[in-house]
Every structure is written in C-alpha cells, then in structure tokens.
Structure 1
Amino acid sequence: MADNSTGSVIDELSALDFAAVSPPEFARIVKGLSAKQLGEAMHGELRTRVLGEVFGRMKQQFRPEAAGRLTALIRWKITGDTDVVYETSIAEGACTISAGRSDAEPRTTLIMADAEFLRLVSGNANPVTLFMMRKLKVAGDVGLASGLTRYFNIPKA
C-alpha cells in the first residue's frame, strides 16, 4: 500500500482482484494496515468482496489430516456496519462453508469485528490474545474455538 491515508488505502483495496491475491500476500496487506484502516475499508461492496473471498478460500485452506474425525459446526459472526454470519461445517474430513445463519445449533460461535477477523484469518493475530483482550467473543465450545487455527493453513505475513 503506497500511502497511509485511509482514502488511498480503500481505493487500492477496491482496485484489487482478491481472487488473484495469494494468502501470504493478503496476510502482508492486512499486517500493513492499522485497525482503524481495516475498519474503515470494510464497508459496502468491498466488505462483501473481502469476506466472500476469505470464506471462499477457507475450504482450500482446510487441513483434513489435522481435523481427523472432528464433527463441528462453527458459526462466525463478523460485526461492522451490519452483522455478517458465515458457517463452517467440518465433518468426515471435509469442510463446507455457507453464508448466513442456518437453523442448526453450532458447536461454537465466534463473534468479532471486521479488523480482528481479518487479522485472525491472515495469521496476524492470536485467537487466545484476542479472546483475553475481549476482541473475540466465544459462545459454546471454547476448547474447539481455541484450537481452530490448527485445522487450517493460516498464512504468515
């Protein structure tokens, strides 16, 4: 990102083809932005594109060998202008992602703001630290929530 002002950051992010951005490159982009910049960038169509791409890649980042026989529904609630919900279902060595809230009861629900979510999925934040700082709220199985990162290849910036 060339300039540190929020307007130019949003312009640069809006111009990105997120499908062409590798996970390590995405991690570097997130690492280079402040929480304020991340929060300000996550609005409207850009927010929809970013969250869609992150959740769209989650299936490819899944590590079935690490999950073993785990069966769990994880609900992600990302807060911002509006709350966005996605669900990750892990069963029989496979991972499926769906947008929106189902009627199924999740084993754990993770609730966090846009900036914390982007930092978490890009390897720029530790879930335990976020939880201890109350930037990540967990409902349900806290043990599952604390170990989720081992089931996915998390990029490193």
Structure 2
Amino acid sequence: MAEEMTGGCQCGRVRYVAQVADDEAYLCHCRMCQRATGGVSIAFKNLSRVDVRWETEPDRYAASPIALRGFCRECGTPLTYEAHGHPYMDLTVGSFDAPGRFVPTEHSGCESWHRAWLDTSHLPASRTDENPSLVKRWMDKVGRLPD
C-alpha cells in the first residue's frame, strides 16, 4: 500500500507530495548526473509521474536531448530526472522530507563510478552538533542547527 511522502527543495519554494509504495531507490553514477549535481553519484527514487503532485512546480532544464532535470531556481536543489515521453520519473532521495526510509537496491551508470567513494564506512565520522565552530556559526545566525 502506498504511503504519502512529502519533499522539496532546500529553501522551501518547490514542494511535492508523492505516493510511495516501497523503499527501493538507486544510485546513478553517470557523468551527466555527476555534472548535474557536482557529486560522484546521486540517489534517486523512481516513481510513476501520476504518483507525484507538485504543490509548486520545479524549474526544468533540458539537460540532454532525451530528458529534463527539475531544480529550484532560487536555491539550486536538484529535484528530478524526467525522460521525455516516459511514464516514470526520478525524484532525488535527498529532497524527501524523510529520506531515511529509502535503501539503495542497485547502481546505474557504473561505467563512471569512482570505486573509492562506494564504501566509505571505514572513514572517521563526526556529527554536525559535535563541531563547536560550526555550531557557533549556526547559533549566532539563526539560533538553531539546520534540519
């Protein structure tokens, strides 16, 4: 049974409601996604277009002859990958308000992946709230840490 999930961009201008039936998501490592996000990969949730309702439509960029990419023109958040004429689309996992539900089930575009970035669990890790300098900057500006 589908669950209604919400999401949107960093600044809040673009918002959506999606009907999500499962926890499956995937990572795309293709060069187009790397360039579009500035990252080594991007996490996507594939959904039927009819299961996504935009409260505020994203801006769209003709990223290639075969697809559009949705984004927020104000804050730059990448939101979608939409192949022309396809009944499904991809929403960025990080744009969901509760992205922790999703689990990666496959890799796409692996011809461009950077193996050193696939498993970084062995690297030292720190929490944002354990960085005194960063905490002070946030507290001085807005009185709280970001979500």
Confirm or deny a common fold (TM above 0.5): no
Which has more strand, going by share of residues? 2
What TM-score do the two structures reach when normalised by structure 2? 0.25
Pick the structure with greater CA Rg.
Answer: 2
Q: Higher helix share goes to which structure?
A: 1
